[in-house]
């Protein structure tokens, strides 16, 4: 509990320092960091179609207002290739509402719910390899650090997993985006995995750290390159009650394509 409090205080301090002398100038490159949500939403009437290649998943989202965003997602493993397709058991949903827009001394703040996880769906544990956010609150702020970058931080609570796992507790995630120019960005995010850590959990205590690059080819078309699970956080010890095969604990490479436009 003490470590969680210190992380929250550090996060608040960084935001307050950066907000004293900086006014947002750039349009956010996306409504998500990589896998995890940012506080940004689309403009009223904007929709986006999003395809992930590995595992294959499609997303569709629409901004009904400048603050309210709704979306659905579905996919499966081995959709591309010659192996038998393993479809996910259900369609997943998301809703995000922007409570406060980004201001001179205030980050953007949004709350929402997302049942969209990442990776293989494990029927016996009723979860994805990387759990969905569930209920969350996230703040995002563009600041004059290292020539200008965007920082994100959020808390979440997911209902994903069975009684085999310790699923209760608040989790924390962070992220950042550094724009290299008007087209290219570098991104990083870290899910601390506080609700996925222990002898009865699939997580191995290091959290889920992901890196990516984003190419905004044109405003309507965005291509992402992801490296997922750089810390190798899945438990592969067969002596533990909850584990996954070694083949799933390698760094995963992924490509996503997003198309967005207006009705």
CA distance 113 to 222: 24
242 and 209 Cβ atoms separated by less than 8 Å: no
Q: What string of pLDDT tens digits covers the 263 residues of the chain?
A: 555 554 555 455 444 444 443 445 555 678 999 999 999 999 999 999 999 998 899 999 999 999 999 999 999 998 888 889 999 999 999 999 999 999 888 999 999 999 999 999 988 888 899 999 999 999 999 988 777 899 999 999 988 876 666 666 789 999 999 999 989 999 999 999 998 887 778 888 899 999 999 999 999 999 999 999 999 999 887 776 677 888 888 899 999 999 999 99
- Do the bridges between strand 252-262 and strand 184-191 make them parallel or antiparallel, or are there none, so unpaired? unpaired
pTM here is: 0.86
- Dihedral sign from CA coordinates of 93, 68, 176, 184: positive
120 and 131 Cβ atoms separated by less than 8 Å: no
How many DSSP H helices and E strands does the chain contain?
1, 15
Q: What is the number of structural domains in the chain?
A: 1
CATH number of the domain enclosing 201: 2.40.160.40
* Residue 64, domain extent: 2-262
């Amino acid at each position: 509990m003490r470590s969680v409090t210190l992380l929250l205080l550090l996060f608040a301090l960084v935001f307050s320092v950066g907000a004293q002398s900086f006014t947002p100038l750039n349009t956010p490159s996306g409504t998500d960091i990589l896998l995890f949500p940012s506080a940004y939403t689309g403009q009223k009437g904007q929709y986006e179609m999003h395809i992930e290649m590995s595992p294959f998943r499609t997303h569709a989202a629409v901004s009904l207002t400048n603050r309210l965003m709704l979306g659905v997602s579905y996919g499966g493993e081995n959709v591309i290739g010659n192996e038998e397709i393993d479809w996910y058991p259900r369609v997943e949903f998301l809703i995000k509402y922007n409570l406060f827009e980004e201001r001179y001394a205030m980050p953007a703040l949004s709350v929402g719910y997302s049942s969209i996880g990442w990776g293989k769906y494990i029927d016996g544990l009723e979860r994805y390899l990387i759990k969905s956010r569930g209920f969350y609150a996230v703040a995002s702020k563009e600041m004059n650090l290292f020539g200008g970058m965007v920082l994100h931080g959020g808390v979440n609570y997911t209902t994903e997993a069975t009684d085999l796992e310790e699923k209760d507790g608040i989790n924390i995630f962070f992220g950042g985006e550094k724009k290299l120019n008007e087209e290219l960005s570098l991104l990083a995010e870290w899910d601390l995995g506080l609700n996925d850590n222990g002898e009865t959990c699939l997580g191995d205590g290091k959290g889920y750290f992901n890196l990516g690059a984003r190419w905004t080819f044109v405003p309507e078309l965005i291509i992402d390159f992801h490296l997922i699970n750089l810390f190798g956080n899945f438990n592969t010890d067969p002596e533990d009650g909850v584990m996954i095969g070694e083949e799933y604990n390698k760094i995963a490479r992924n490509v996503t394509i997003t198309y967005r436009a207006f009705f």
